[in-house]
Structure 1
Amino acid sequence: MEPHILQLDGSAIEANLAALSRILIDSVAGGAAISFMAPLSQADAERFWLNDVRPHVEAGHRSLFGAWHDGEIVGTVQLLTAMPPNQPHRCEIAKMVVHPQARRLGIGRALMDRALARARELGKTLVTLDTRTGDAAEPLYASIGFEVAGIIPDFAFDPDGRAKHGTTYMYRRIEDAAAT
């Protein structure tokens, strides 16, 4: 069964807060490098969705997409569209997260396809992202047309705080990319 992708507004964030928070908590516990340190508390996860994400979604500065599989939300991706005045043509992918138990089901690809479609709808011509160097998502991004711009070593700590990892910056031109 293919995942069902929906764009979430502020009220949908609140309605799905427990599931959204569980995706973050379990992903960080599983080692996902998504800016949080383990253990991530329920309160901190909820604060992220309500204070960091919801206001930007409601202001129209980012789009949040959720993936449903077997009746529950199991993944999210954000498309950040509020860029500096000299970069109106660009947007960024952020926090592409799939629950550890829902990986390898095409959910990440479906989320990315929807985010790229939204970028196209908004007239964006360049999409950027960064990912932990060597992460399982890196080949996914390459398979949908993202190219490596460069790698920064020792960029951030792993969620367990034991080691630093590099980050790989990637980009994709929308006007040159075939429709996904």
Structure 2
Amino acid sequence: MPRLEIALFDTAQTEAWQLELAELLHACVHDGASIHFVQPFPIEQASAFWRDKTLPGVAGGHRALLVAFVDGELAGSVQLDCDTPPNQPHRAEVCKLMVHPRHRRRGVARALMTRLEEQARTRGRSLLTLDTASGDKAEPLYRALAYRTAGQIPGYALDARGETLQATTLMYKIL
């Protein structure tokens, strides 16, 4: 039975694992994941995402980065963005849930989301929001975790290949 561990990364860990995190993002986008990037997607762009977007939030304390390891290998990650306006101190956004293609269907995403919800509660957040490509394989996972659909927006974003506009489903969960 594979050993699954979830870690909450601090700034130093995020910097130290930047290459592996970039490889995770790169693999997910090239496997068709709809996580805001389009192909061609060079590894340098994946690395820049962690350095320029994620690391400052982790360092500033308003972004939690949870990372999954299967038998010591980085297998997935998810982020909790708590950088909300002053009138929304109770809310946070779920961002960039990714599981490496070779680690899918092993409970990694569910474990990451469970720890993310624990982290949200620890940070005093009682409402989580997210968006996901309508009809994507992640949508049933979110429903199984008791996220509710708030609505859909047609033509919201290009697919991972940059070819077709696809709808997004907005979801929420009250903790």
Same fold (TM over 0.5): yes
With the length of structure 1 as denominator, give the TM-score of the two structures: 0.94
Partner of 1:14: 15
| CA-to-aligned-CA distance 1:46-74 (integer Å, 9 cap, x gap) | 11101110011010111000000021111
1:82 is displaced (CA, Å) by 1.2
Residue range with higher mean Cα deviation, 10-19 or 146-155: 10-19
- Secondary structure (helix, strand or coil) at the match of 1:58 reads helix
Count of equivalent residues? 174
| CA-to-aligned-CA distance 1:77-120 (integer Å, 9 cap, x gap) | 00001100110110010000111111100000000000000111
Counterparts of 2:26 and 2:126, CA distance in 1: 33
- Secondary structure (helix, strand or coil) at the match of 2:121 reads helix
With the length of structure 2 as denominator, give the TM-score of the two structures: 0.97
Counterparts of 2:128 and 2:11, CA distance in 1: 24
Gaps spanning 5+ residues in structure 2: where?
none
1:2 is displaced (CA, Å) by 4.5
Counterparts of 2:114 and 2:50, CA distance in 1: 22
Partner of 1:61: 62
Partner of 2:159: 158
RMSD (CA atoms): 0.9
- Secondary structure (helix, strand or coil) at the match of 1:127 reads strand
Counterparts of 2:63 and 2:17, CA distance in 1: 18
Gaps spanning 5+ residues in structure 1: where?
175-180
Partner of 1:104: 105
Runs of 4+ in structure 1 over 2 Å off: none
